[in-house]
Amino acid sequence: MRSGLEVLLEDVSRLHGLRVGFVCNHTAIDRDFRHGIDRLIQAGVNLVRLFGPEHGVRATAQDMEGVDEFRDPVTGVPTVSLYGDSAASLHPKADHLRDLDVILFDIQDIGSRYYTYQATLGFVMQVAGPLGVKVIVLDRPNPIDGMTLEGNVVQPGFESFVGAFPLAVRHAMTVGELAYFFRDHCGIACEIEVILCEGWSRSQWYDQGDLPWVYPSPNMPTLDTATVYPGTCLIEATNLSEGRGTTRPFHLVGAPWIDPEKFVRECERRGADAGLAGVAFRPSAFVPGFQKHARKRCGGIEIHVTDRTRLNAYLLGMVVTAAGRAAHPELFAWRTEAYEFVTDPIAIDLLTGSTEYRETVESEGSLSELLVRWAPQLRSFDEKRKTCLRYT
């Protein structure tokens, strides 16, 4: 298997004489763990400017932590942060692109619409297109396979950095395929090229290939984490800890006031009612090192994936969130603080793309019936998605 970066590096002469921008982070490496910035400079490419997504070019910042970057500390290349202290900072300024001929994009995605790197790609395309700057995506595999769709589609009025485009929660596309989707189905007029990765098929998970795994963000340490993230990211929109500040983020869920046994019972009952499979729940206790309930002992659950091919990760997150509320309704709360620079709608509605899930939970409605109502959205999305697929 070879990444798009490795394919490009076979012949970078096409970039010689061009002024090149590079949107990247620490995942832009070859199989020998050498960074694309270094490889391109060594190959004589004129890297005029780097662009850092959420967490930064070297991924040193936590989630929703503004990044000030002016120069890459390793190579000295001028750097622009695309994740600052305002919504406006998420888009490059036209002046950042006007002196470029081409922009390379190489960041490992994990296949979920909340994961903000793909939104950054779309925003770069929006600014680059009118300026006539070509965007070249150096593609990488979708780590959680390129076939399985989950969830619903973001509805109008609920767009945000965690749902910038009308994608399914688990979209089953690579970043390169998403670039085609943004151009062909989201009205972004931009010249693009995708350098495909080689040796990856849609049914493959990341660990079924031979590319090295580099944690794509500070709280995405393993492929196992990426497996549950399309669902357990929903915990961010509550006053429960999603396990940030532990060694098992998105697998540990709890709070100081949670009764672990009761939480497990609620998860198991609601999971059985909704047809959840491929997962088990264990009573647990943990102490987050930072963020929610930092340095406080939390009761909760640990999520264990028993069969990733049977697991609907989004349903898992729906079940766990509803169970946390049911276990302690007097203490559970939705997050109402600003989330990715947005205060209204609230975080849970931004993540789920509408009010439907929250209203279902609050009314003790059926999660399985909600999935049935969402099925037409998935089918419509899939029809558009299929026009953008480049792998078999």
pTM: predicted TM-score of the whole model, two decimal places: 0.96
Q: For the chain, what is the mean pLDDT?
A: 96
Q: Regarding the domain delimited by 223-354, which CATH topology (the fold level of the hierarchy) does it fall under?
A: Aspartate Aminotransferase, domain 1 (3.90.1150)
Tens digit of pLDDT for each residue in 120-154? Answer: 999 999 999 999 999 999 999 999 999 999 999 99
| C-alpha–C-alpha distance, residues 256 and 233, integer Å | 19
Q: Which amino acid would we find at residue 174?
A: T
Exposed e or buried b per residue across 323-343, where buried means at least 16 C-beta atoms within 10 angstroms of its C-beta: bbbbbbeeebebbeeebbebe
Domain ranges of the chain: 4-214, 223-354
Tens digit of pLDDT for each residue in 4-56? Answer: 999 999 999 999 999 999 999 999 999 999 999 999 999 999 999 999 999 88
User: Which residues on neighbouring strands pair with residue 105, listed in sequence order?
Assistant: 23, 137
What are the distances in angstroms from CA 389 to CA 97, 111, 115, 337?
28, 14, 20, 38
Per-residue confidence (pLDDT) for residue 22, from 0 to 100: 98
pLDDT mean over 259-283:
98
Instruction: Determine contact, residues 113/163, Cβ cutoff 8 Å.
Output: yes
Class of domain 4-214: alpha beta
Rounded percentage of the chain residues whose pLDDT exceeds 90: 94
Residue corresponding to tokens 């196992």? 224
- Closest CA relative to residue 152, chosen from 362, 355, 366, 390: 355
Instruction: Determine contact, residues 44/16, Cβ cutoff 8 Å.
Output: yes
Tens digit of pLDDT for each residue in 94-125? Answer: 999 999 999 999 999 999 999 999 999 999 99
| C-alpha–C-alpha distance, residues 180 and 387, integer Å | 9
Rg (CA), the chain: 21
Higher pLDDT, 115 or 57: 115
Whether residue 61 is predicted with pLDDT greater than 60 in this model: the reply is: no
